[in-house]
Amino acid sequence: MLSFVQAVIFVSLRLHRQAANCSLAVAQVQVRKMEQQLHQKEDMGEVLHVVDFDQLKIENQQYLDRIEERNTELLRLKATTGKAVQVALLAFPCHVSRDAKHHQTHSSSCRDLSQHSINAWQTCCY
């Protein structure tokens, strides 16, 4: 009985060792592939330099400025449409319903939320 248990343990250990060796071989192949790719990129001159990072930083800032401008424009347009809806509701008071009042409340809360998001994003990213 003891020899049977020892044999099972021995086989189990051998299987685990084989699995570990396979995993090690796979990892070694991946390391070689990555080193080869790195050498190819270095040979081709695709290594990023400090100048490249500075250029990317400048472009990123320009994109952030454009996004801020467009968000400001979007808020202005939302305010304009909100005012137009209010004027339309005042011009046609008989068509005012609970849904219109709900829409007006919802659009103002969305506008407040958008402005809050922009302010939080500006304090976070600048």
Residue linked to tokens 């490249």: 52
The pTM of this model reads: 0.37
User: Cα(122)–Cα(126) distance, rounded to whole angstroms?
Assistant: 6
Query: In sequence order, what are the residues at sequence separation of 6 or more whose Cβ sits closer than 8 angstroms to the Cβ of residue 71?
Result: 114, 118
**Cβ atoms 71, 114 nearer than 8 A:** yes
Condensed to tens digits (0 to 9), the pLDDT of residues 7-66 reads: 788 888 888 888 888 888 889 999 999 999 888 877 776 556 667 788 889 999 999 999
User: Cα(76)–Cα(110) distance, rounded to whole angstroms?
Assistant: 13
Q: Can you give the pLDDT at residue 126?
A: 47
The amino acid that residue 25 corresponds to is: A
Asked if residue 97 has pLDDT above 90, the reply is: no
Q: Can you give the pLDDT at residue 116?
A: 59
- The domain segmentation of the chain, as residue ranges, is 1-47, 49-126
